[in-house]
Structure 1
């Protein structure tokens, strides 16, 4: 006789406490093997395929695609020891987001979305997924008209809703849960029920009479936004979730907490480009410009270690870090990410070039791990790839500084007392003014510029 085991959302590390279901990779009735990926979830760090520790037949799934689940919430149940593939019993279209308890004796049926058949852009994280437009469209439940769901009124009694996420969503948009009829099992109110109510303009104001047509709305919007300018009927709302949400939170926190300042200088990079050409002409692995700039950067940090630091606001201390884990900003389909090169201070230009190439390829193919996206102590931002000369970037919290590099372009330049066309680059340093003053920041940036203009200066520290 098969034993039914429950598999819960595991701890994904890096202090993450919740994840959003992006795509189910198995359906109820499928046979799974030990450590087979069963669901793709998005965390604040990356996209992750979650493997199941049990082998057997899937008897139930818990949570719709697009649902946020806390760590420890049930994901699915597996009948271990089942001899053959089992058929699923009829059930509502979508399983509850966070069920009270799985019922092994009565397995649920697959949700409306299947694991296969989708093709999307490459995302940074574990594996690939569809772009942001993949969010499941809310459809009316069986037996209701396309105009919307039936309304119960405001009868007293407990509201049939389990998920704290659903309650929060309703509270933020002013939706009275007592006016809704849930489409889940036993009338459970699901996230899609609340989202459809928001789209129909259901708010804190009393509902219109039953025979009256619903009031037209331009777009679903939180109550706070209704007092602003009128929204265009074609306005598009992009949820700040997963990596995009984590980026937004981190940048906002940096702006709130870090009193940053920026200094910049133009440098003649002609000799640096000539040195790189000579290195690559000698044979062996190619050396990238970014790797040379990184080598210069870690040499400058050795002379000015105060910039390889962070601030402990609780202890009111500046914490200087002994190792340089160099992050580099990279633009991806999912937004800005900062992969980290570990122990950059101990790497040669050749090693740095290889690691930059590996991490860049991982970003392109969507295989960066959460560990490769965290733990940086200083960031190198090459915004010159966008064809711009300068920028004042936001510091990658909780770091203390960021070196920015603009495009390298031919410009008129006074060289050895004469006007000449040289390869010029603008360098900028954005720094936490709590960590250092302008003298330290200027000394760091000047040393970087000197090494760019005369790479032989770097030989003194090698």
Structure 2
């Protein structure tokens, strides 16, 4: 007899508690192999493919594309063959090595049939972005054809998760509450909402966060706003509310209410994470900005000379961003105050031994900041190669959480947008960010005469707790000197 196992959304690490389903990679009735990716999800850090630790036939999926699931919520169910075999071979699923970016979450399985002593082949805990690990001893190989014959294809098995309300309400609708997310239950408790009075908009009436938030808004607005469908007003004797306004064009990108020009765009995923980080930066960091114009003519000439080398000595092309990144690492070696963070609880400034250089990259999914690790030990060519690799991964949505966290200083080249200056917000919990405007021909006094030179505006936003204006000005002036006279860098190479 096949056994139906439930695969839950694993712990995604980095403090992430939920993920949005971007694309299902399997259908109900499909035969999947162990460690086969079954769904593509987007977190606040990156987009990853989640592998299934079981092999068998998919009997049910939970959640539509564009919906959010909390960690620990059912993701899908798989029918697998069970029963120990004397000739079963011991197998180990290879755990990919990495820098520890993905969190390890137990792929829990609840048996739908069979005894607890039966052994089911599984590859162990899911390491998001790296497959699965932790081999399970003595398990027999799943034969998909046998399972497919035993389980009718495309027959969904949808288990219901009953959650009883702690304080029954006399006029409440009897029966279990169709809600899976602990976040939804917590939100309802905080606003004294009875979930049994809500009609969920999810699959099979599942109550989603949007349903609870809509009910909260309706209660806050009183009788002037329509309540969600199926929600009973708590006060007796109140006149019936008008029917709920239908919502058209609902999607993961936003929703527009009919008859209104307003559009609601959920702050979640990458956009939500950016909003949280920028808001925290503004709340906690007393930032200040200084800027200076620099003559980048010699820097551009040096780059052209580097890239014109032919023959065996020729390497990959060096970008302007790579040269500026190398200048930043040299400046941070002279002014380590700006490669630090503030420990509020201990009331201490923590100077960091290594430079993990972040750089702002604009993608279709929003602004992300990939991190070049150990930048202080890299030359311009090595930094440029890593920037190119991370940029390509960012545009493809393949960055791992480890590649998006742990930065100690950020370089922001907003000149690619055709602007000269900016006052960027510090990437919390870092202490500073260097902004670079566009490099354009401008009139400039050079060697006592007016000339047309390649000019760039450099701006430094810094945490005034870690240093004063003298240190920040010295750092920015050193950056400008290296831009104007690249030979200054020879002292640190």
Question: What is the TM-score normalised by the length of structure 1?
Answer: 0.77
| 1:381-396 equivalences in 2 (<5 Å) | 381-396=412-427
Distance 1:265 1:21, change over 3 A: same
1:19 aligns with 2:19: yes
| 1:21-420 equivalences in 2 (<5 Å) | 21-81=21-81, 83-85=146-148, 86-87=151-152, 99-100=161-162, 154-155=171-172, 160-163=177-180, 164-167=182-185, 177-181=195-199, 189=207, 201-202=227-228, 214=242, 233-283=260-310, 284=314, 285-420=316-451
Please tell me whether the aligned partners of residues 218 and 233 of structure 1 are also in contact (alpha carbons under 8 angstroms): no
Quick one: distance in 2 between partners of 1:44 and 1:409? 36
Q: CA deviation at 1:211?
A: 12
Quick one: distance in 1 between partners of 2:264 and 2:390? 31
Kindly report the root-mean-square deviation, in angstroms, between the aligned alpha carbons of the 2 structures: 3.5
Q: CA deviation at 1:100?
A: 4.6
Question: Unmatched 5+ residue regions in structure 2?
Answer: 82-143, 164-169, 219-224, 249-257
Deviations 1:175-195 (A, max 9, x none): 764544457798764567668
2:288 is paired with a residue of what secondary structure? Answer: strand
Aligned to 2:467: 436
Quick one: distance in 2 between partners of 1:23 and 1:446? 49
Q: CA deviation at 1:434?
A: 0.4
Deviates more, 1:346-355 or 1:23-32: 23-32
Please tell me whether the aligned partners of residues 160 and 187 of structure 1 are also in contact (alpha carbons under 8 angstroms): no
Distance 1:335 1:350, change over 3 A: same
Please tell me whether the aligned partners of residues 63 and 203 of structure 2 are also in contact (alpha carbons under 8 angstroms): no
Please tell me whether the aligned partners of residues 58 and 79 of structure 1 are also in contact (alpha carbons under 8 angstroms): yes
Distance 1:2 1:298, change over 3 A: same
Distance 1:182 1:380, change over 3 A: closer
2:328 is paired with a residue of what secondary structure? Answer: helix
What is the aligned residue count?
400
Deviates more, 1:195-204 or 1:382-391: 195-204
Please tell me whether the aligned partners of residues 371 and 407 of structure 2 are also in contact (alpha carbons under 8 angstroms): yes
Q: CA deviation at 1:205?
A: 5.7
Distance 1:426 1:211, change over 3 A: closer
Q: CA deviation at 1:61?
A: 2.6
Q: CA deviation at 1:274?
A: 0.6
Distance 1:17 1:330, change over 3 A: same
Deviates more, 1:205-214 or 1:243-252: 205-214
Q: CA deviation at 1:345?
A: 0.9
Distance 1:251 1:188, change over 3 A: closer
Question: Unmatched 5+ residue regions in structure 1?
Answer: 102-152, 221-230
Quick one: distance in 2 between partners of 1:75 and 1:52? 10
